């Protein structure tokens, strides 16, 4: 039987050694079951969440760097979509739809006709 601290340490070791990104990935590299992990409420531990988040962030930075240094136009457009502001992204995607409505009349009158009082 495993104690909580042991499960935590094995999980953190697996996350670090195998560059894991999600909680579900841990169970392929540890000797305990998914149920044991959740029974000990380890999904709520900040240490485990932080380790997974760090791996995801590190991977994003590495990928963006590779995309930036690449001569592949598809990767460069993908990076541009990630780092662009809304206007630039719409121009890249060709998706901007703009509806302009201008009226000189600033107010209007609504008249209610009651046909039920006849």
The answer to whether residue 118 scores a pLDDT higher than 60 is: no
Average pLDDT, the chain: 89
- CA–CA distance, 76 with 67 (Å, rounded to integer): 6
For the chain, domain boundaries: 4-93
- CA–CA distance, 31 with 27 (Å, rounded to integer): 8
Q: Between 91 and 32, name the one with better pLDDT.
A: 32
Answering whether pTM is above 0.75, one says no
- CA–CA distance, 16 with 37 (Å, rounded to integer): 17
């Amino acid at each position: 039987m495993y104690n909580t601290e042991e499960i935590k340490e094995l999980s953190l070791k697996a996350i670090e050694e195998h560059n894991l990104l999600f909680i579900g990935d841990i169970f392929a590299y540890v000797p305990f079951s998914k149920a044991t992990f959740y029974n000990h409420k380890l999904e709520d531990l900040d240490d485990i969440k932080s380790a997974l988040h760090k791996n995801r962030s590190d991977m994003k930075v590495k990928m963006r760097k590779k995309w930036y240094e690449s001569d592949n136009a598809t990767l460069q457009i993908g990076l541009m979509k990630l780092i662009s502001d809304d206007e630039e992204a719409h121009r890249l995607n060709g998706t901007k739809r703009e509806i302009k409505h201008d009226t000189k009349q600033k107010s209007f009158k609504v008249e209610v006709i009651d046909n039920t009082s006849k």
